[in-house]
């Protein structure tokens, strides 16, 4: 019986809920530990876990953000706002009875081995034992700040702390970071700030949110096999973007030194518009600070009142001693970015990125956990095969193709990831008949 296996899920964001839904439908006994008072993760506005601000909309469209068999409401726009996303997440939890398994306000303070189990302790003093633990506490944990020589004496914010453009009203602002958050925040700040400078380290490809009246990811998917090679497809897409006004070099920005698909896409229909109108003034990488003066690598200088770091996050597992994991390049060395090579009853979900929406990802990860739990509970032959494979296999997830940056250490090719995930989850339950 699957209910003889006790499972703990740490984190009630979208990934934790996606995993929980699959486990519930398979009949497992599980508990969701959520530090906040309700589900939502980074979309939980008002909670410490929230990364949302007033004007925030998704950068992935509705069609591939929704879970395939649980569509968003028809009246949602192609790119829902953060309030709609939060409502959708909670409706998903209600639909599949996940509130019945939740312990809210139960931040996990310690996770440690206890024989063949894990001991989970919470801030309220509760301790319980579990046979399998799935960590889903998210990638956006501890803010990373860009570090440069000198001392900056003005106000400093991280993207985590940005809640509305009122925080930068009438201020001279420098946004550091060229990813989606950096571009979105530079645009948002430009509506109220006295001036906005945007510092990026390299050239980027900018993608509009719509092409031919459709969300751009949908338009790209519908190209299908129109072209004979990947190179021809990318060249066509790049030319369409250029004709639509989305070539950064036309605005004096650097030419990217990587292929169009060699980095996580920057989806923003407004950043180049505001650069063209000088609402946002592009700058290169920062060289140094002195007081409120910032010097850039081209030796130009600006004086700013506030620096907003849109420079990413570090993974953080404050409840787990770091020496319990194996590490590589300052991130846990996880097989498929999910399975520790040195633990057989601990899984990490939600620690990989692809150029795709959320829906397929949480469904895929949930199905993997379900099969892993089945194999583990019933000691299926496929489990032993998998446990050997995770020690030796090096599946190609496409990561060597991407630019060399901290954020891209966990970027993966969507189709390669889906293929390998399917292969290994099927391996786990080979020969199993329920």
Which CATH number covers residue 167?
3.50.50.60
Owning domain of residue 125:
2-141+315-428
Residue 434 has pLDDT above 70, yes or no: no
Residue 241 sits in the same domain as residue 255: yes
Does residue 170 form part of some domain? yes
Q: Are residues 300 and 152 in the same domain?
A: yes
> With bands split at pLDDT 50, 70 and 90, how would you rate the model's confidence at 410?
confident
Question: Is the same domain home to 268 and 368?
Answer: no
The dihedral region occupied by 150, where left means phi > 0, alpha psi between -120 and 50, and beta the remainder, is left
**Residue 128 to residues 19, 115, 117, 234, 344, Cα–Cα distance (Å):** 20, 13, 10, 52, 19
Instruction: Decide if pLDDT at 431 tops 90.
Output: no
Q: Give the pLDDT confidence score for residue 1 in this predicted structure.
A: 44
Best-predicted range by mean pLDDT (288-302, 322-336, 418-432): 288-302
Quote the CA–CA distance of 365 and 18 in Å, as a whole number: 8
For range 255-280, the mean pLDDT:
96
Q: Could you tell me if 294 and 344 lie in one domain?
A: no
Q: What is the tally of structural domains in the chain?
A: 2
The reply to whether 372 and 333 lie within a common domain is yes
Summary mean pLDDT of the chain? 95
Q: How confident is the model at residue 61 (pLDDT cuts 50, 70, 90)?
A: very high
Q: Which residue in 201, 204, 189, 120 sits closest to 159, CA to CA?
A: 189
Residue 434 placed within a domain: no
Give the domain-ending residue among 276, 309, 342.
Answer: 309
- Model confidence at 386: pLDDT above 80: yes
Picking from 343, 348, 325, the residue whose alpha carbon sits closest to that of residue 16 is 348
Do residues 266 and 190 share a domain? yes
State whether 239 and 371 are in the same domain: no
pTM for the model? 0.95
Q: Is 433 part of any domain?
A: no
Q: Do 300 and 336 have their domain in common?
A: no
Find the DSSP H helices in 113-229: 180-189, 216-221
pLDDT value at residue 360: 86
**Alpha-carbon span 294 to 153, nearest angstrom:** 10
Alpha-carbon distance of 228 to 233, in angstroms, equals: 8
């Amino acid at each position: 019986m699957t209910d003889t296996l006790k499972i703990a899920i740490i984190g009630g964001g979208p990934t934790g809920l996606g995993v929980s839904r699959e486990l519930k439908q398979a009949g497992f006994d599980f508990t969701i530990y959520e530090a906040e008072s309700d589900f939502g993760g980074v979309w939980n506005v008002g909670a410490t876990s929230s990364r949302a601000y007033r004007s925030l909309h998704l950068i992935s469209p509705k069609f591939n953000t929704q879970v395939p068999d649980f569509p968003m409401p028809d009246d949602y726009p192609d790119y829902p706002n953060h309030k709609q996303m939060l409502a959708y997440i909670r409706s998903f939890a209600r639909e599949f009875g996940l509130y019945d398994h939740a312990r809210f306000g139960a931040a996990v303070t310690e996770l440690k081995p206890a024989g063949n189990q894990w001991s989970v302790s919470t801030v309220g003093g509760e301790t319980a034992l579990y046979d399998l633990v799935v960590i889903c506490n998210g990638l956006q944990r501890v803010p990373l700040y860009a570090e440069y020589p000198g001392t900056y004496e003005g106000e400093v914010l991280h993207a985590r702390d940005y809640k509305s453009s009122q925080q930068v009203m009438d201020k001279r602002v420098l946004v550091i970071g060229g990813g989606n958050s950096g571009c979105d925040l530079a645009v948002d700040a430009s509506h109220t700030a006295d001036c906005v400078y945007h510092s990026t380290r390299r050239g980027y490809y900018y993608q509009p949110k719509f092409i031919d009246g459709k969300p751009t990811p949908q338009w790209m998917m519908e190209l299908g096999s129109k072209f004979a090679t990947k190179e021809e497809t990318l060249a066509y897409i790049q030319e369409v973007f250029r004709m639509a006004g989305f070539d950064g070099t036309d605005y004096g920005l650097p030419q990217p030194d990587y292929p169009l698909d060699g980095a996580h896409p920057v989806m923003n229909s407004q950043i180049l518009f505001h650069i063209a109108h000088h609402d946002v003034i592009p700058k290169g990488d920062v060289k140094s600070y002195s007081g409120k003066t910032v010097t850039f690598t081209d030796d130009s200088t600006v004086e700013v009142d506030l620096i907003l770091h849109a420079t990413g996050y570090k993974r953080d597992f404050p409840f787990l001693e770091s020496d319990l994991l194996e590490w590589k390049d300052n991130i846990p060395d996880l097989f498929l970015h999910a399975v520790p090579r040195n633990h057989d009853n601990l899984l990490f979900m939600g620690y990989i990125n692809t150029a795709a929406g959320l829906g397929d990802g949480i469904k895929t990860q949930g199905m993997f956990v379900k099969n892993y739990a089945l194999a583990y509970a019933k000691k299926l032959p496929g489990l032993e095969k998998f446990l050997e494979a995770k020690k030796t296999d090096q599946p190609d997830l496409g990561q060597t193709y991407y630019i060399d940056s901290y954020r891209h250490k966990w970027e993966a090719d969507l189709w390669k990831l889906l293929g390998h995930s399917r292969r290994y989850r099927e391996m786990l339950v080979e020969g199993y008949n329920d």
